[in-house]
Chains A and B, each alone.
Chain A
């Protein structure tokens, strides 16, 4: 099992009131960024990564978001570059560069190749379409989002595997002389992992490419559905999917005592958490979602994803802030009410933190001592059987020491337990078994990718709780 440490590298100093006033993290004006704090935080996060490698994590995961105090990794490849040099054996997992916003995919191919070389072959690039806010920030036409993604992906692959020089004339990119001198260390190319929230198209695309799919903390029921979809697609493609094709990311905080853990773990809800990542108008710009995905989104009551896309949110994005348009707005969530001036910031905060226990019950966040978190992780592992597991440090105002302690306890006690559990469950990771390497004979039965019995034992997520 490949276990990776993840922090979103949040700017933990942002005043919570500003986030709540702004009704999301994205768009908090950048005058609230203090470079001295930023400098300290970046380096502390790098220290955490090095420490995580020391205590036994197999990989360090990074992610990328723009214009958002939620994540300082606007250009996470900077941190990836540093990790290539200052870590020794951990894999550097990028989940993921938003291809549609990069604009020069050849440069990205060169950049990732350099990082892979400096690390002597430890890079795991990953790509995303990017949240709506990334399109707006980077001026990337959302109507072409999927096309940009697909073509940029193909172009980067060509840079890495097709001998240059050659010409690329695509729909969205033209390059008259592709011949990058620097090529990746790993051959034929680095392994690619793709993170996702709820998009069926992404899952199918992954399965067709044999890329492991990493579920970003999505509700177990929905995740199970998506993995079965992956498995079916894999079968159609002629191979057997298995644990090596899946990964899962889980928010978690560990402390020495349950009391400390419960006290500190509230940080995961800071500012409204991922549900307040960006406002509706920035989350789903026009053309971003296919019709199919939009319909599915509307139907799905349970899932929230990491970017706060609930069915409520979807309706918000349609009807927005206007009383006489569409559905009357007597209801509507706290942010809605905040905008209309119907609640104060204090009330909004109260509502956020009121969900703390529910968020734990629904496994959106796992808070406790090693002893109390391990069983919860075990349940997830039983249900989903992921070959890759990411432990996601809380985003809120924890102290550096609290974070390091959490890492230490995870390394010392949680990871060994997880490895045992994984062995017992027969879970292998993508480095132990190459994804897509097992042929599937049509008509035969294949092993279940998930454990539906275990799923029955798992708590149902309260859809009104947003973290």
Chain B
């Protein structure tokens, strides 16, 4: 049974690859800097009553790089353009890591583009304590490993990364890291102006989700995001015994929380 499809659409000035699956109200899903992980259990669950729209970020997979996207803010502007051309706004969004940062940039530019926003451990704001992991000065293995708190307790992680590394997988990782370096090298995975502009967001209910043991973006960044979004309804949920990827580390709780929030 085809749970999802991949299609290439000429939109927002480029030939964008997009994963679509599920039925119901549309839900925009912005993947993380390692790329779209594949159709995980959380996708499957959410797809039961939502129609997932997962653009493959320009520069990843089959989506060609867009030179005009020079930083994550402009990545957000790209997605806004895409949504407008697809006539999907206002839409619910869930963004993971750099995808969450991009969603925040979109909201800061035009919060009316979203109905509700879920941010899952987004980079983009410097934490008060600790440092955002410099994913560009570590090996892929270190980067991937740092996303999970307890690999043994995360079956989907092993599913993703166990076994022999294929050359294609290596290339895909390199590509992903190249594109994220291109747009997020300096400042180091954050936008110092983002908090200021997030303060202008009104009427956009937001759910921030984080793992307390997040070794990629320290959990103190969650408070920074919450504080920046002070002028709108914002909830923060922190999972214990959880790293940077609550969506696969605490899948059931994660899905429940998101479903309830988006209802």
Question: Do chains A and B make direct contact within the complex (CB under 8 angstroms)?
Answer: yes
Contacts from A to B (Cβ < 8 Å): 136, 139, 141-144, 280-282, 285-287, 291, 294, 298, 316-322, 324-327
Given A281-B142, A291-B171, A325-B145, 7 other A-B contacts at CB below 8 A? A285-B137, A319-B140, A320-B138, A321-B139, A325-B141, A326-B141, A327-B165
Of B112-120, B179-187, B203-211, B249-257, the segment with at least 4 beta carbons within 8 Å of chain A is B179-187
> Are B141 and A321 in contact, with the CB atoms below 8 A?
yes
A144 to B65, CA, bound (A): 13
A294 to B140, CA, bound (A): 15
**Binary interface profile of B, 126-150, with partner A (CB < 8 Å = 1, else 0)?**
0000000000111111101100000
> Are A143 and B179 in contact, with the CB atoms below 8 A?
yes
A residues in contact with B171, CB < 8 Å: 291, 294
> Are A286 and B141 in contact, with the CB atoms below 8 A?
no
Q: Select one of B136, B164, B175 contacting A285, CB under 8 A.
A: B136
Q: Does B38 contact A (CB under 8 A)?
A: no
A318 to B165, CA, bound (A): 9
Q: Does B151 contact A (CB under 8 A)?
A: yes
A residues in contact with B181, CB < 8 Å: 141-143, 285-287
A395 to B100, CA, bound (A): 48
- Nearest-neighbor residue (CB-CB) of A139 within chain B: B186
A residues in contact with B144, CB < 8 Å: 322, 325
Q: Does B4 contact A (CB under 8 A)?
A: no
> Are B138 and A324 in contact, with the CB atoms below 8 A?
no
A residues in contact with B136, CB < 8 Å: 136, 142, 285-286
> Are B137 and A318 in contact, with the CB atoms below 8 A?
no
Also in contact, A318 and B186, with CB within 8 A (given A286-B136, A298-B167): no
Q: Does B202 contact A (CB under 8 A)?
A: no
Also in contact, A318 and B141, with CB within 8 A (given A286-B174, A324-B162): yes
A residues in contact with B173, CB < 8 Å: 318
B residues in contact with A136, CB < 8 Å: 136-137
Q: Does B63 contact A (CB under 8 A)?
A: no
Contacts from B to A (Cβ < 8 Å): 136-142, 144-145, 151, 158, 161-162, 164-165, 167, 169-171, 173-175, 177-182, 185-186
A287 to B177, CA, bound (A): 7
CB distance from A394 to the nearest CB of B (A): 30
CB distance from B64 to the nearest CB of A (A): 14
- Nearest-neighbor residue (CB-CB) of B177 within chain A: A286
> Are A141 and B139 in contact, with the CB atoms below 8 A?
no
Q: SS class of chain B's interface: helix, strand, loop or mixed?
A: helix
CB distance from A273 to the nearest CB of B (A): 22
A286 to B189, CA, bound (A): 14
- Nearest-neighbor residue (CB-CB) of A133 within chain B: B137
B residues in contact with A285, CB < 8 Å: 136-137, 181
- Nearest-neighbor residue (CB-CB) of B185 within chain A: A141
Specify which of B151, B161, B174, B179 lies most central, judged by the most chain A CB atoms within 10 Å of its CB: B174
> Are A326 and B137 in contact, with the CB atoms below 8 A?
no
> Are A322 and B142 in contact, with the CB atoms below 8 A?
yes
> Are A320 and B142 in contact, with the CB atoms below 8 A?
yes
B residues in contact with A291, CB < 8 Å: 171, 174-175
A residues in contact with B174, CB < 8 Å: 286, 291, 294, 318
CB distance from A171 to the nearest CB of B (A): 9
- Nearest-neighbor residue (CB-CB) of A326 within chain B: B165
A183 to B242, CA, bound (A): 60
- Nearest-neighbor residue (CB-CB) of A283 within chain B: B139
> Which A-B residue pairs are the 8 nearest by beta carbons?
A320-B141, A326-B165, A320-B139, A286-B177, A287-B178, A143-B182, A322-B141, A141-B185
A325 to B151, CA, bound (A): 11
Q: Select one of A139, A280, A287, A321 contacting B182, CB under 8 A.
A: A287
Q: Select one of A143, A298, A319, A325 contacting B185, CB under 8 A.
A: A143
A81 to B192, CA, bound (A): 40
CB distance from A296 to the nearest CB of B (A): 13
A287 to B141, CA, bound (A): 16
- Nearest-neighbor residue (CB-CB) of A316 within chain B: B139
A-B contact pairs, 18 of them (CB 8 A): A136-B136, A141-B182, A143-B179, A143-B185, A281-B137, A281-B142, A287-B178, A291-B171, A316-B139, A318-B141, A318-B165, A318-B173, A318-B174, A319-B165, A320-B140, A321-B139, A325-B145, A326-B169
> Are A324 and B182 in contact, with the CB atoms below 8 A?
no
A residues in contact with B151, CB < 8 Å: 324
- Nearest-neighbor residue (CB-CB) of B158 within chain A: A324
A6 to B70, CA, bound (A): 41
B residues in contact with A326, CB < 8 Å: 141, 161, 164-165, 169-170
A142 to B178, CA, bound (A): 8
B residues in contact with A325, CB < 8 Å: 140-141, 144-145, 161-162, 165
B residues in contact with A322, CB < 8 Å: 141-142, 144-145
- Nearest-neighbor residue (CB-CB) of B180 within chain A: A286
- Nearest-neighbor residue (CB-CB) of B162 within chain A: A324
A residues in contact with B186, CB < 8 Å: 139, 141
A residues in contact with B178, CB < 8 Å: 142-143, 286-287
CB distance from B227 to the nearest CB of A (A): 28
A320 to B174, CA, bound (A): 13
A316 to B136, CA, bound (A): 15
